[in-house]
Amino acid sequence: MKQKVKLRVGVIGVGHLGEYHVQKYKALPHVDLVGVVDTSNARASEISGRYGTHSFPSHHALLSSVDAVSLAVPTEKHFDVAKDVLSSGVHLLVEKPITYQLEPADTLIRMAQEKSLVLQVGLVERFNPAVVKMESLLTKPVFLESHRMNVFTVRGTDVDVVLDLMIHDLDIILHVVQSEVKELHAVGMSVLTEKTDIANARLIFEDGTVANLTASRVSDTPLRKIRIFQPDAYLSVNCLKRELTVTKLDGVLRDAHDFPQVTSNRTQFPGKDPLADQIASFVNSVLNGSDPVVSGHDGRRALRYALAIIDQIEKGCKNFQTPC
């Protein structure tokens, strides 16, 4: 039997997150990890040696040898490098946010379409098994609430908290609510950086659905939860623990006053790896010619509303010391 040809892949940018991409590709049997690139040649050599691959002096040198790449460089470099990737006819998984602005995102989407290339955006929470299961149980969401809190680290401070953290929940909410946004209200403030570190946004959709999103990167403890109210159930997703709790009317049980009773069922997903699933999904899209789970259009939509939130915050009060 003829051996199936492996997909040749590379990783551009092998810092903290890029190294995880390298790990996941290395574990896939139908993938040939050709090599890595980093602005630090020492880092590229370290990672290539650790995972048994090659280091390339630049992304230009890598692109002629691969079919697909992950791009995990700082956001300010996304557009320039991604444009080179797509111009070379190479499929692309770009970390979030897709770009800083909408026009460059539109250019990348157009380039991918013209060349029939997969353009996937790394909004990894879509692959969280608790989120995937939650989506399958949705009927008609009425109210959605998300809290995404991180302990402060310098990593990710090249963008504000909306593009760093809240964009994950924006993507999920915009994906599951089958209606256009009618109103958006946002507030936020800086605490430790010159950018917004705490933000809250309220989205009101044309069909009456309301979503409230809060993100902070100056919390004392990590928290990543999404709660959804719909007519037949209350769904609570703990993204950190990868568990889903569904609370609904029992349908049979009633208390001593003849009130109906509610029951809760918690489902856990131990051993699941959202990043590995994201990368496997990207590889499958390339191999099968199928649309990615999180497309360039999805990444652009999340970016559109993230920028609208940032704009409202910039026009209002954002300094921790300044009363509004």
Dump pLDDT digits (tens) for 154-205: 776 778 999 999 999 999 999 999 999 999 999 999 898 888 999 999 999 9
Those residues with Cβ within 8 angstroms of residue 307's Cβ, 6 or more apart along the chain or in another chain: 101, 102
In the DSSP assignment, the letter for residue 165 is I
- Answer yes or no: do 146 and 284 share one domain: no
**Which CATH number covers residue 185?**
3.30.360.10
Contact indicator for 275, 124 with CB cutoff of 8 Å:
yes
State pLDDT tens for residues 136-153. 999 999 999 999 999 988
- Answer yes or no: do 172 and 82 share one domain: no
β-bridge pairing 210-216 and 223-230: unpaired
Q: How many residues does the chain have?
A: 324
- What angle (nearest 5°) sits at the alpha carbon of residue 272, between those of residues 271 and 276? 125
State pLDDT tens for residues 233-244. 999 999 999 999
State which residues form the domain around 39: 7-125+275-294
Span 109-133, mean pLDDT?
A: 98
pTM: 0.92
- Answer yes or no: do 25 and 35 share one domain: yes
In a domain, 320, yes or no: no
**Rounded-to-integer distance, Cα 78 and Cα 93, Å:** 11
Residue 97 Cα to chain centre, angstroms: 8
